[in-house]
Amino acid sequence: MKIGVAGIGTVGVGVIKILEQHGQLLSDRCGQDLEITAVSGRDRRKDRGVSLDGMTWYDNAVDMASDPNVDLVVELIGGSDGVANDLCRAALKAGKSVVTANKALIAVHGTELATLAEDKGISLNYEAAVAGGIPIVKAMREGLAGNAISRVYGILNGTCNYILTEMEETGGDFDAILSDAQALGYAEADPSFDVDGVDAAHKLAILTSLAFGTPVDFDSVYIEGIREISALDIAFAKEFGFRIRLLGVARKTEKGIEQRVHPCMVKKDTPIANVSGVFNAVVAEGDFVDNTVYEGRGAGEGPTASAVVADIMDIAAGRTCPTFGIPVRKMIDIPKVAVEEHVGCYYVRLNVFDRPGVIADISAVFRDEEISIESLLQRGRSPEEAVSVVLTTHEVKEAAIVKALAKIEKFDHSVGTPRMIRIAKL
């Protein structure tokens, strides 16, 4: 099988290395020799630490799609639009299967691209796009195919998980830990895609489609990142027996589908709470299989290339599957539920002056919004300085919490904006 690889950065180089090192093994396993015949990048002169001898170089990656010496296109450039999108479309229209690691592309254009692939009877594989080296797409698309999935959730961004784990272990604040993560290469110079939750949301949108057979709908994912998580919240979480994790959650409810990415308090004894550092984990709940848990490296040259190569091998071996496990024409556009409709328990941290009657005023607001408090604690005692009042609630609709916090923020004895973190029921 003749392969064109567009994008020879971290992942592209990893793919070249695996094909070099395991050529015979891969060929024995998938029944064909795998040969990279074409590559594309921006800088032809860059030393990439691997040999590109004998491979045709394309300055314009899209031209690779019409190269008769390329049977399969591997897109490892990135970005939801531009050359990555143009190349994938051109390849699929030319009847060539596509493998990509590009979550942004699949989250934004996945359904259209799947239609192109299905019309031609070819494959669009994207294992590396969700949780890097963890074969979660294959698990959802094939391994759990006999189940109706009720919920899929997980830690989908290693950078955020690294930062939250380090904050917990060192007691440091977000900004300081982010700088360390950047110095260590665990966070990008511009970390916004990761820490603001967008990267996890791309992956969640894809998981939602795989789980519920709906068109990919990235725009309706509720997204909240980890910038506002403070060392204080992490410390209080510990006291309540929780850890804080950035979770992506897709859940089917009677009203429709919830798709949300936000920090969560998770009980310390759950599998998800024990996923540390740059690792990713996904839990899928099926009606017959019950809970299944997948954990591993969600990024990096080796793990991501491992997933890309597995996708290439499926195509070489003739193993095909509809892009989202169900043909596009069979997909059902299930309504999405707004986050305000979410019913769950909440952690709330207020900053108030320790004056007589404050707790009574707070309790009155919660009573008026019909929010039942599970526990409440106050730290510090000083009439001159604001102190933290932290509480957890029983199950309530999110809209009620939002309303209550807006009222409390207006109190004379309130300082700053109250913090709220959802407590995950895992």
Ligand X SMILES: NC(=O)c1ccc[n+]([C@@H]2O[C@H](COP(=O)([O-])OP(=O)(O)OC[C@H]3O[C@@H](n4cnc5c(N)ncnc54)[C@H](OP(=O)(O)O)[C@@H]3O)[C@@H](O)[C@H]2O)c1
CB of 297 to ligand X, least distance (A): 9
Residue numbers 301-360 binding ligand X by CB under 6 A: 304
Residue 7 interacts with ligand X (CB under 6 A)?
Answer: yes
CB of 304 to ligand X, least distance (A): 4
Residue 101 interacts with ligand X (CB under 6 A)?
Answer: yes
Residue among 261, 250, 262, 248 at smallest CA distance from 213: 250
* Counts of helices then strands in the chain (DSSP H, E): 13, 17
H or E stretch at 56: strand 56-58
For residue 335, give the DSSP letter. Answer: P
SS3 371: coil
325 CB-near residues (< 8 Å, 6+ apart):
140, 141, 142, 145, 210, 213
Euclidean distance between CA atoms 91 and 73, whole angstroms: 7
Choosing from 18, 155, 244, 299, the residue that interacts with ligand X (CB under 6 A) is: 299
Query: Considering 96, 203, 252, 336, which one is annotated as catalytic?
Result: 203
Q: Which pair of tokens denotes residue 78? A: 């990135």
Applying CB under 6 A, the span of 38-46, 144-152, 252-260, 378-386 interacting with ligand X comes to 38-46
SS3 265: strand
CB of 300 to ligand X, least distance (A): 5
First and final C-alpha spacing in the chain = 44
Residue 154 interacts with ligand X (CB under 6 A)?
Answer: no
Give the residue carrying structure tokens 């109250």: 418
CB of 55 to ligand X, least distance (A): 13
Residue 65 interacts with ligand X (CB under 6 A)?
Answer: no
Applying CB under 6 A, the span of 21-29, 119-127, 296-304, 344-352 interacting with ligand X comes to 296-304
Residue 197 interacts with ligand X (CB under 6 A)?
Answer: no
Residue window 8-27: x/- pattern of binding to ligand X, with contact defined by CB under 6 A: xxxxx---------------
Residue 300 interacts with ligand X (CB under 6 A)?
Answer: yes
Tell me whether residue 203 is one of the annotated catalytic residues: yes
Size of the site for ligand X (CB under 6 A): 25
CB of 350 to ligand X, least distance (A): 39
Q: Please, which residues bridge with residue 390 across strands? A: 349, 377
For residue 336, give the DSSP letter. Answer: B
Residue 61 interacts with ligand X (CB under 6 A)?
Answer: yes
Q: Specify whether the CB–CB gap between 336 and 219 falls below 8 A.
A: no
Active site residues: 203
Site for ligand X, rule CB under 6 A: 6-12, 40-43, 46, 61, 76-78, 83, 101-103, 128, 132, 299-300, 304
